[in-house]
Structure 1
C-alpha cells in the first residue's frame, strides 16, 4: 500500500476511499508510526473544497497561534532560513476581497514582487465547523483502527505558498502527519530518523544543490489535488514545489504529552480559582521559624489537599478526559454563543459523535460535546441522563418534544431548555443534509 508516483519501490494504492471497509485497519497495521504512505486520488476534491478553505482562512479570528506565520523571502532564490522573514498576517493574509486563493496570490505577487511567500495557519476549526467535522470523521476512524489516541492532540492546519523550498527546511515534528493537496503540486522528501545527526549542515540549508546527495537518498512523493500522504513522527521531511501557487490541508497527531503536565494543569487551574487574587504573590513574609512555609504557601497547600479530598481534582481530571473524548482528541470546536434553538425545529445527535456525560463529586452533571464541557448544577441526574441517552441514539427530535418527555417533576422545562440550548451552541446537533 506504500505508494508514490516517483518511488520505484512503491506501488499504487488499490483502495480508493477512506470509507472502504478495512482501509484504516490495513493502514494501521502497515504504516502507522512505522512508514510513509501515499494514496493518489484518494480524497475527492468535494470532501475538502478549495473555496471552503478560502472562506475559513478569511474568517479566522484575530487571535493567532504562535505557529501561525506569513513568510516572505528576502531574495528571489532563498538558500537558507535566514533569507525568509515574517510579515504581519493581519496586514497581508487572504481576505474576502481577494475573492479566492487565485486573487490572493495575485495580490501577494504585487505586494512582494520577485519574492517567495508561505503561510501556515493552525486551528482552522475556529472558522469552519464543517471542516472540523469532516476531518473528525478521518480522525475517529484512525483512532479506532490504531486503538489509541495521540496523547497531545490532533491539529488541523494549512500551508499556502509559492516557495520552492519550505522555509522550515528539513525538519522533524513530534507528530504523525496526514496531508492532502487542494491546489497545485508539491514534492515531499522523507528520510528515516537515523538519516541525519544533530547539527548536520543539511538541516540548516535550503539550497537544493547542496542537498542533492540527501535528496537522492530520500523517499519522494509528489502530491496532487485529491492525494493523501502520511508520514510518521520519526521521519525527517522537506517540502518543495515548482514555485507555482499551491495549497494543502493537513491533520497531525501530536504525541508526547507529559502526564505531569496533564495533572498539573488541572490542579493549577483549580487552585487558581480557589485562591483568586491571592494566587499572585509579590513576596513571602519572613516568619519566626524560617523553615516553616509562609502563610500563603500553607494556604495553597491546604486548599490543594481539600480539593483532592473533596473530589474536585478528580472531577477536573474527569472533565479533561470527557472533553478530550468528545472531540476524539481534536482541539475543541468553539461554541457558537449566538446560536438559538427554535422550539419545534428538528434536531438530532450524530451517533458517531455522542454527547459524553458524568456525575461530579459536587453532585452536579458534567456534559461534553465536541470538546467543550458544560457543568449542570442539578440533583436530577437520572432524568437528564435519560434525555442525553435518548439524544445519543441519533433519533430525530425537537426541543418541544424533549420538554414534553423529560420536563417532569422534579425536572423543569427551564432545565431541559437550558441544557439543550447549550448543547446546540456546542454544535451537538446535526441539521438535515449534514454528513
Structure 2
C-alpha cells in the first residue's frame, strides 16, 4: 500500500513566493553554481509546494488529456519484474488517461490508493514537464524562486522548465543520465536520494558519443548488470534530501534517483542556456543564451533586448522571412513576459468586464507593447499575447493604456475606455476590440478585478 502524503498546511491568503534573500544567492553563486552539487535544508518557512496543489495540477492535466490534447508533456512509467541482468525495467504507458486522477478521487491520498489497486501493487513513476503551465501557484512559486538566481547569474534563455516527479519507483525510470540544464530539486513529500557523477567520470564510456563535448547536452548511461551498477555507485557522491529540502547539481553532472522507502513527490526545476525550443524552426544562427535581469520586462516602456533583436534581423528582409521574424518575435516576447519559463500559466475564466468595474495590474508583472513587422502591435503579459493594428493613433493609445495599468493602481474600466477613444477617428478601433483586450488581460491574470478606491474588498 502506498504511504499517505502529509496534509498540507492552510495556504497563505497572499500570493505564494519562494524568493530567497540576496545573501543566499550570493553565497550559492560563489560556492556552487556550475561548480558542485549542494543540499539546502528546509530553506523556506512558507509557501512551499504542497501535495494539494500538485493534485490540482494533475487534475488540470487529466482534463486536458481526456479532451484529447495530446501535446500534454506527461509520461507514466510502470516498473516490471527484475530482468535477467538483475535490474528493474520500466514500461511507459501508451495511454496515460486510466492512471490519472478524477474529481471523484477527492484528494491526492485517495487517488494514490486507487492507483495502487489499479496497478495491483506494481511500482510506478509519473513525470509531468512544464508543470508551471498547469497551475497558477506553481508558476508564481517558480518565478519568484528564479528571480534571485536571475539577478545573480543572468537570465538563462533555454526555456527553464519545472517537472513533477511522483511515484514509488526504485530508480529514475530513465536511468543514469544528464540533462541540458542545471537542476534544482524540491522534495515535497517523502525522501529522495540522488547519486551523482561529474561529467568527466563517465564521459569515456562507449555509449557516450565522442568528438564533441556533451558537458551541457543530454545523454544516458546504459547499465549491463548489477555488477556494473555497483561499480558505478562506488564512485558516486550522494545527496539525501527530506521533505522541504532543496538540492542542486550543475548541468555537467550525471545523476539518478536511488531507492527510498515508500512514496516520494518532488519538483525538478531545470535551468538551461541552450536556445529556446521555438528557435528550432528558425534558420540556424547564433541566439543569445542569457540576458541581464534588468533587461526583463519592467514597468517602464520596454522593448525586446538588443541581443534578441539583432538575432532576429539576421534572418533577412524578404516577405516570407519577415513573417517568420514576426512569429519569432512573438515567441520571444511571450518567453520573456513568462519569466523565461517554458510554458505560460493556465488562463482564468471569468465573466466579461463591465464599464462599472475597477481593475488593477500587478506592478511586478508588467504588460508590454512591442511593434511587429507588418505594422502590427503585440500586447503581451505572463506568456500570453494578442496582436492589434499598429497604426500610430492606435499604438499611442494602447501604450498609454498599458502604462496606466502598469502603475498598479485601481482604475475604472469606464474611465479607461473614455480616455482611449477620446478624439479617436471613427472606425479606427472598435469598442468591442477594446473590451476584448481588457478581457484578454483578465484571462491572462495580467489584471484583476478590484474594489474602487476607498472600499474594502469582501
TM-score after normalising by structure 2? 0.74
- Structure 1 position 388, deviation (Å): 0.5
Query: In the alignment, which residue of structure 2 is the partner of 1:342?
Result: 353
- In 1: Cα distance, 2:182 partner to 2:35 partner: 10
Aligned-pair RMSD on alpha carbons?
A: 3.2
Map residues 191-206 of structure 1 onto 2, 5 A cutoff.
191-196=197-202, 197-199=204-206, 203-205=221-223
- In 2: Cα distance, 1:81 partner to 1:43 partner: 37
- Structure 1 position 337, deviation (Å): 7.5
Are 2:108 and 1:101 equivalent residues in the alignment? yes
Unaligned runs of 5+ in 1: 1-16, 266-302
Q: 1:322·1:357 contact (CA, 8 Å) conserved in 2?
A: no
Are 2:62 and 1:43 equivalent residues in the alignment? no
Instruction: Give the SS at the match of 2:76.
Output: strand
- Structure 1 position 370, deviation (Å): 1.3
Query: In the alignment, which residue of structure 2 is the partner of 1:220?
Result: 238
Once the two structures are superposed, residues 279-314 of structure 1 have per-residue CA deviations (whole angstroms, 9 ceiling, x without a partner) of xxxxxxxxxxxxxxxxxxxxxxxx982344xx5444
- Structure 1 position 130, deviation (Å): 2.2
Query: In the alignment, which residue of structure 2 is the partner of 1:263?
Result: 282
Once the two structures are superposed, residues 221-268 of structure 1 have per-residue CA deviations (whole angstroms, 9 ceiling, x without a partner) of 112111111111110001023240111112212332289736349xxx
- In 2: Cα distance, 1:158 partner to 1:80 partner: 28
Distance 1:231 1:206, change over 3 A: farther
Once the two structures are superposed, residues 34-87 of structure 1 have per-residue CA deviations (whole angstroms, 9 ceiling, x without a partner) of 222211111346431211111111221113457522111221799677722122
- In 2: Cα distance, 1:81 partner to 1:327 partner: 41
Query: In the alignment, which residue of structure 1 is the partner of 2:190?
Result: 184
Distance 1:335 1:120, change over 3 A: closer
Query: In the alignment, which residue of structure 2 is the partner of 1:388?
Result: 402
- In 2: Cα distance, 1:78 partner to 1:167 partner: 17
- Structure 1 position 193, deviation (Å): 0.4
Instruction: Identify the structure with the greater helix proportion.
Output: 1
Query: In the alignment, which residue of structure 1 is the partner of 2:335?
Result: 324
- In 2: Cα distance, 1:109 partner to 1:76 partner: 19
- In 1: Cα distance, 2:224 partner to 2:141 partner: 34
Match of 1:422 among 440, 443, 454: 440
State the structure with more CA Rg: 1
- In 2: Cα distance, 1:207 partner to 1:102 partner: 35
Q: 1:323·1:368 contact (CA, 8 Å) conserved in 2?
A: yes
Query: In the alignment, which residue of structure 1 is the partner of 2:120?
Result: 113
Match of 1:374 among 386, 404, 414: 386
Q: How many pairs align?
A: 378
Match of 1:68 among 54, 67, 74: 74
Query: In the alignment, which residue of structure 2 is the partner of 1:156?
Result: 162
Instruction: Give the SS at the match of 1:391.
Output: helix
Distance 1:346 1:177, change over 3 A: farther
Match of 1:360 among 372, 375, 378: 372
Instruction: Give the SS at the match of 1:348.
Output: strand
Q: 2:19·2:147 contact (CA, 8 Å) conserved in 1?
A: no
Query: In the alignment, which residue of structure 2 is the partner of 1:55?
Result: 56
Query: In the alignment, which residue of structure 2 is the partner of 1:268?
Result: none
Distance 1:398 1:44, change over 3 A: farther
Distance 1:72 1:90, change over 3 A: same
TM-score after normalising by structure 1? 0.77
Most deviating of 226-235 and 36-45: 36-45
